[in-house]
Amino acid sequence: MKTTISEVYKHAEKEVKIGAWIANKRSSGKIAFLQFRDGSGFIQGVVVKADVSEDVFQTAKTVTQESSVYVTGVVQKDERSPLGYELLVTGIEVLHHAVDYPITPKEHGTEFLMDNRHLWLRSRRQHAVMKIRNEIIRATYEFFNENGFSKVDPPILTGSAPEGTSELFATKYFDEDAYLSQSGQLYMEAAAMALGKVFSFGPTFRAEKSKTRRHLIEFWMIEPEMAFTEFDENLEVQEQYVAYIVQAVLKNCKLELKTLGRDTEKLEKITAPFPRITYDDAIVFLHEKGFDDIKWGDDFGAPHETAIAESYDKPVFITHYPTSLKPFYMQPDPNRDDVVLCADLIAPEGYGEIIGGSERIHDFELLKQRLEEHNLEMDAYKWYLELRQYGSVPHSGFGLGLERTVAWISGVEHVRESIPFPRLLNRLYP
């Protein structure tokens, strides 16, 4: 019976056939242990010399790391293995003999591993991170579908810059200037006026010269947008959504979290609601913590965010930032116009901002004024302004950075491990 490693539990005590690669092996005179991987998981195969033909035992002894095989064997319960099963091998057919696979079980440096990302993805830890990424994406679609959102796909080639003009990747669109999307938000606002509650999931590009463990040049963002939705309601959706994906990973990725050595107790605490602190109070808090240099109007850096996050065991919303720090489209606080109705969601354990969101300006005149203040080309934003001319409504939305969220939930140090092929300041290969 042909099966996959993740399905062997259905075939206990039976003989199965699996297409697999050799992840690792060790052998002695009488017995060989082969670690098989097939993409769905990892399983240990035991080859006992006395129980198999001379041919099969020779193959087990000579087969190399990352050779591809069809293996047959009897599925046996094994309490000690993380999977709960092992394979008593009865036959091995080598499909391709790999020679000198560069990533050996010994330690390698990061640059070497990044140069070999196309192969590094096969390793147990990287496999686990990609599975968790996949589960977060799956749970994202589930959450928004169950809550009445429609998925809408904004364009990647655009003529406008929602998040400021300094970090754009410019390109030619025949004779016109175009940019790779920084955020689909403006288009999602148009979609929300057509479909009510919408979300997008797609790649975004930032030509940021940042070389930190939180920054990618190309990253994937989930951007929900909701008509007739004000500031507080927006935060409620965010905390429900983030709690939902964390709980989904805890439920469906037990093996992967174990492989990564993730402290799951910390994740179990991630339930709605999340704490909130205003920017004003955050400044006071930081002064108390000894950050003497920071003053009202300054943006927070990673050390500030981490200091704030450390006093909570859940993600924390920092709300009401100074207007001057945020993009042109954010709705001012009705009680004071030096701050906006926005929130950044800061993940625990030093992973930084995973969500940026806000209520949007829905007044035509105010939005026009802001576009002027930000020196944005009115022609490119004509359509965006028109959304405020025909049945404008209070509306809000947010963007969750997938890679930072994957890094946090997986407990990996750097976002470069939470995307299959990271685009970094000095890296376009592989």
Single out the residue of 41, 399, 411, 422 in contact with ligand 4AD (rule: CB under 6 A): 399
Q: Which amino acid is at 391?
A: G
The yes or no reply on residue 45 touching ligand 4AD (CB under 6 A) is no
The yes or no reply on residue 131 touching ligand 4AD (CB under 6 A) is no
The yes or no reply on residue 73 touching ligand 4AD (CB under 6 A) is no
The yes or no reply on residue 208 touching ligand 4AD (CB under 6 A) is yes
The yes or no reply on residue 416 touching ligand 4AD (CB under 6 A) is no
> E-strand spans in 38-132?
42-48, 68-77, 85-96
* DSSP code of residue 360: B
Q: Which residue number, 142 or 299, has a Cβ lying nearer to ligand 4AD?
A: 299
The structure tokens listed for 202 are 């797609």
Task: Determine the Cα–Cα distance for residues 345 and 200; give it in Å rounded to an integer.
Answer: 19
Helix (H), strand (E) at residue 143? helix 124-146
Q: Which residue number, 208 or 268, has a Cβ lying nearer to ligand 4AD?
A: 208
The yes or no reply on residue 357 touching ligand 4AD (CB under 6 A) is yes
Task: Determine the Cα–Cα distance for residues 408 and 348; give it in Å rounded to an integer.
Answer: 8
CA distances from 249 to 25, 43, 383 (A): 30, 21, 40
Q: Which residue number, 223 or 256, has a Cβ lying nearer to ligand 4AD?
A: 223
The yes or no reply on residue 401 touching ligand 4AD (CB under 6 A) is yes
Contact 396, 235 (CB under 8 A): no
* Residue 27 burial class via C-beta count within 10 angstroms: exposed 0-12, middle 13-18, buried 19 and up: middle
Single out the residue of 185, 234, 238, 410 in contact with ligand 4AD (rule: CB under 6 A): 185
Q: Which residue number, 314 or 404, has a Cβ lying nearer to ligand 4AD?
A: 404
Q: What is the DSSP string of 149-188?
A: -EE----SEES--TT-STT--EEEETTEEEEE-S-SHHHH
The yes or no reply on residue 417 touching ligand 4AD (CB under 6 A) is no
Rounded to a whole number of angstroms, the minimum distance from the CB of residue 234 to Mg ion is: 14
Q: Which of residues 146-165 bind ligand 4AD (CB under 6 A)?
A: 162-163
Q: Which residues bind ligand 4AD (CB under 6 A)?
A: 162-163, 183, 185, 206, 208, 215-216, 219, 221, 223, 353-357, 397-399, 401, 403-404, 415
